[in-house]
């Protein structure tokens, strides 16, 4: 196992790289893109999941998940954005006319994440792959949305099972089994977050995946996202924008949550980057990309 000294070196190097790569600036860009992309993304995922489960049940599940992690104000902002899309697509003709716009908008967030990941890993697209690679990236983003829909179906099904089982145990047994079910539910949430982060880290960057660093980075990021929500909530509560009432306040709170959460996501990328650089092969671009080397020039 890695010694505590090595872990400390990895963390310090990752924090230094996080600051040097201006990851907080990237987080601000992601929160802006998310304002326009998050609702279409969830809208499409909800309708895909609605093939198996009713749209109302899926929306209720998404609302519960966002309320649990981001808080009621952020969830209200998301529901407002979803409601605006839903109200605009009630007519079948307007739905058909806007479906391409929805698909394009829903993938923009993942394209922005991909670009940021590539900048952190110091790789860029090769010449000659422009249009082809853009189409592949959009299809990859749509595939991620499809996987999100599948995860929604599974999570809603298991969530209902856990609730029913917990109610059964509370009527039949003592406190301990109920606590065990609660722990199992929390572990399931962690597993979903871990797999989501792993999916982003393995599919989006234009590098060859080295699984040990990616798995470790995804694990730490998932832990930080789940445990860090208390700290993020406290930081946001100290911000004066939370005093705004109505729709504007809830949307701004949602953007702040995305800003701080994406900062954690980018720190996880820095962890992966630091571990990859320690390997013999280092960071290896895939066939669509080339490595970028930064040279420092001394003015003196």
226-271 confidence digits (pLDDT tens): 887 777 777 666 665 555 555 566 777 778 888 888 999 999 999 9
- Whether residue 228 lies inside any domain: the answer is yes
- Residue 72 Cα distances to 19, 67, 94, 250, angstroms: 31, 5, 31, 9
Contacts of 181 (CB under 8 A, 6+ apart): 162, 165, 166, 169
Q: What is the pLDDT of residues 169-203, one digit of tens each?
A: 666 665 555 566 667 777 887 888 899 999 999 99
Q: Is the pLDDT of residue 42 over 90?
A: no
Q: Which structural domain range is residue 140 located in?
A: 4-152+185-288
- Are 155 and 195 contacting, i.e. CB atoms less than 8 angstroms apart? no
Confidence class for position 89, pLDDT limits 50, 70, 90: very low
Q: Is the pLDDT of residue 83 over 90?
A: no
Confidence class for position 74, pLDDT limits 50, 70, 90: low
Distance CA 28, CA 268 (A): 17
- Whether residue 246 lies inside any domain: the answer is yes
Query: How far does CA 226 lie from the centroid of its chain?
Result: 12
Max mean pLDDT range (14-23, 52-61, 173-182, 282-291): 14-23
Q: Is the pLDDT of residue 110 over 60?
A: yes
Q: Is the pLDDT of residue 218 over 90?
A: yes
Determine the 3-state secondary structure of 7 from DSSP. Answer: helix
- Whether residue 225 lies inside any domain: the answer is yes
Q: Is the pLDDT of residue 90 over 90?
A: no
Q: Is the pLDDT of residue 120 over 60?
A: yes
- Whether residue 165 lies inside any domain: the answer is no
- Of residues 154 and 289, more confidence is placed in 289
Please tell me the predicted confidence (pLDDT) of residue 223. 92
Q: Is the pLDDT of residue 215 over 50?
A: yes
Say what percent of the chain tops pLDDT 70: 74
- Whether residue 295 lies inside any domain: the answer is no
Please tell me the predicted confidence (pLDDT) of residue 169. 64
How many domains would you assign to the chain?
Answer: 1
Distance CA 118, CA 292 (A): 10
- Whether residue 119 lies inside any domain: the answer is yes
Confidence class for position 95, pLDDT limits 50, 70, 90: low
Please tell me the predicted confidence (pLDDT) of residue 15. 94
Determine the 3-state secondary structure of 228 from DSSP. Answer: coil
pTM: 0.83
- Whether residue 137 lies inside any domain: the answer is yes
- Residue 48 Cα distances to 13, 54, 126, 147, angstroms: 41, 10, 34, 10
Confidence class for position 58, pLDDT limits 50, 70, 90: confident
Please tell me the predicted confidence (pLDDT) of residue 73. 64
Confidence class for position 7, pLDDT limits 50, 70, 90: confident
Mean pLDDT across the chain: 79
- Whether residue 264 lies inside any domain: the answer is yes
């Amino acid at each position: 196992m890695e010694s505590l000294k090595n872990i400390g070196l990895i963390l310090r190097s990752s924090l230094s790289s996080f600051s040097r790569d201006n990851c907080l600036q990237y987080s601000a860009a992601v929160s802006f893109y998310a304002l326009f992309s998050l609702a279409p993304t969830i809208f499409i995922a909800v309708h895909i999941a609605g093939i198996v489960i009713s749209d109302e049940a899926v929306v209720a599940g998404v609302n519960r998940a966002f309320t649990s992690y981001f808080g009621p104000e952020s969830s209200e902002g998301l529901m407002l954005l979803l409601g605006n899309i839903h109200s605009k697509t009630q007519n079948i003709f307007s739905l058909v006319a806007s479906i391409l716009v929805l698909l394009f908008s829903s993938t923009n967030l993942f394209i922005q994440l991909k670009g940021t990941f590539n900048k952190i890993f110091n790789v860029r697209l090769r010449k000659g792959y422009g249009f082809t690679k853009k189409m592949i990236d959009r299809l990859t983003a749509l595939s991620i949305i499809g996987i999100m829909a599948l995860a929604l179906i599974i999570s809603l099904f298991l969530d209902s099972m856990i609730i029913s089982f917990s109610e059964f145990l509370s009527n039949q047994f003592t406190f301990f089994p109920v606590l065990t079910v609660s722990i199992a539910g929390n572990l399931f949430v962690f597993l979903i977050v871990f797999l989501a982060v792993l999916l982003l880290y393995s599919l989006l960057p234009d590098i060859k995946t080295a699984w040990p660093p990616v798995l470790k980075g995804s694990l730490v990021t998932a832990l930080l996202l789940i445990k860090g929500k208390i700290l993020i909530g406290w930081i946001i509560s100290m911000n004066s924008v939370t005093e705004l009432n109505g729709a504007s306040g809830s949307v701004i709170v949602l953007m702040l949550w995305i800003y701080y959460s994406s900062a954690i996501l980018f720190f996880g990328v820095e962890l992966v980057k630091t571990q990859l650089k320690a390997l013999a092969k280092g960071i290896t671009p895939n066939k669509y990309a080339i490595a970028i080397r930064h040279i420092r020039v001394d003015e003196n």
